[in-house]
Amino acid sequence: MKGRTPTKEQKRFHDNLCQHVGCPACYIDGIFNDYVSVHHIDGRTKPDAHWKVIAACGNHHQIGDGCEAIHRNKARFIKQYGTEMFLHRMSVEILLDKGIEVPEQVLIIAGFK
* Lowest-confidence pick of 27-31, 63-67, 94-98, 103-107: 63-67
Confidence tier at 66 by pLDDT (50, 70, 90): confident
What domains can you pick out in the chain, each with its CATH number? 8-105 (3.30.40.190)
Helix and strand totals (H; E) in the chain? 6, 2
DSSP 43-60: BSSSTTTTTSEEEEEHII
Q: Is the pLDDT of residue 36 over 90?
A: yes
